[in-house]
């Protein structure tokens, strides 16, 4: 009579051991998932990332030139892969700068609006209105020549000119005597025509398109004895932009 009880006890022990092993097997996947989750991206203790910062927080901050030189050199190296020539390389640099121009335009106007709003509140005047996007070519070019250049390089561009040729009334030129993007780039002799400021030309083109001005922007080397790295950004506006310019001029809109 004792044997069945002993046998049943052994069965119950084995069953409990099996249940424990099955339970431990079932608990392993959550531990693995938790381990995988812990090896992901690190999040600060306050659970805030760079996207939670206010856009005006770094308004007056300056980036390290060493960091910029390293990042831009890597961008040029990346764009140089599988290119057929200098024009192809400059085209890729232009394409890299184009989306940045679209975003910089929004950032520039956001900061301008917030600063004008805060100044109007502090002065208790209702006459100050937020700036509107330019409707004419000259206000757009002054926006690029001044505020945009200060946002990028902490100084305005060196010159803004209009083509004097009657055959090319749609061409404007923005001059930078010492482009920052070319300062830390060593160009070989066989590629002397290369101008890495095509990246900045893409930024200008993105700003123009973001404001509704169809344009094609290219960067050209125009060295002088005083400024060997002098670069001219040639801005060519489309026919639709020039037709709209004539209509707005007749209407007296500035």
> What is the per-residue pLDDT across 203-212, written as a single tens digit (0 to 9) for each?
999 999 999 9
Rounded Cα distance, 51 and 191, in Å: 40
Q: pLDDT tens-digit profile of 40-49? A: 666 667 767 6
Q: pLDDT tens-digit profile of 163-180? A: 999 999 999 999 999 999
Is 237 in a helix, a strand, or coil? strand
- pTM over 0.85? The answer is no
Q: What is the pLDDT of residue 23?
A: 46
Q: pLDDT tens-digit profile of 32-70? A: 444 444 546 666 677 676 666 666 665 566 678 899 999
Domains of the chain in start order, with CATH, are 64-112+132-249 (3.30.1380.20)
pLDDT higher than 60, residue 29: no
pLDDT higher than 70, residue 101: yes
Rounded Cα distance, 148 and 230, in Å: 19
Which alpha helices (DSSP H) does 39-136 contain, by range? 65-79, 86-123
Rounded Cα distance, 209 and 206, in Å: 5
pLDDT higher than 70, residue 231: yes
Provide the percentage of residues in the chain whose pLDDT is more than 70.
69
Rounded Cα distance, 213 and 238, in Å: 8
Rounded Cα distance, 195 and 229, in Å: 9
Residues 114-120, mean pLDDT to the nearest whole number = 54
Q: What is the pLDDT of residue 203?
A: 97
Half-sphere exposure for 156 (CA within 13 Å, toward CB): 10
For the record, the structure tokens of 50 come out as 């760079």
Q: What is the mean pLDDT of the chain?
A: 80
Query: What is the pLDDT confidence band of residue 133, given thresholds at 50, 70 and 90?
Result: confident
Rounded Cα distance, 122 and 101, in Å: 31
Question: What's the burial of 86, exposed, middle or buried (CB within 10 Å: 0-12/13-18/19+)?
Answer: middle
């Amino acid at each position: 009579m004792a044997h069945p009880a002993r046998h049943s006890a052994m069965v119950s022990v084995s069953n409990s051991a099996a249940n424990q092993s099955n339970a431990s097997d079932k608990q392993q996947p959550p531990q693995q998932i938790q381990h995988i989750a812990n090896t992901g991206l690190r999040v600060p203790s306050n659970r805030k990332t760079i996207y939670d910062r206010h856009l005006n927080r770094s308004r007056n901050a300056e980036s390290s030139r060493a960091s910029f030189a390293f990042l831009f050199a890597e961008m040029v190296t990346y764009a140089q892969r599988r290119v057929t020539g200098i024009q192809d390389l400059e085209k890729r640099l232009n394409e890299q700068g184009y989306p940045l121009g679209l975003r910089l335009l929004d950032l520039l106007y956001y900061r301008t609006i917030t600063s004008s709003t805060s100044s109007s509140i502090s002065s208790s005047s209702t006459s100050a209105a937020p700036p509107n996007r330019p409707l004419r070519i000259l206000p757009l070019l002054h926006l690029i020549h001044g505020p945009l250049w200060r946002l990028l390089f902490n100084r305005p561009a060196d010159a803004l000119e209009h083509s004097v040729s009657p055959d090319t009334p749609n061409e404007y030129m923005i001059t930078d005597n010492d482009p920052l993007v070319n300062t830390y780039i060593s160009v070989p002799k066989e590629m002397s025509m290369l101008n890495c400021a095509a990246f900045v030309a893409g930024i200008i083109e993105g700003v123009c398109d973001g404001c509704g001005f169809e344009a094609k922007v290219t960067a050209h080397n125009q060295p002088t004895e005083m400024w060997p790295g002098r670069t001219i950004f040639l801005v060519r506006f489309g026919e639709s932009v020039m037709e709209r310019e004539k209509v707005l001029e007749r209407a007296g809109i500035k």
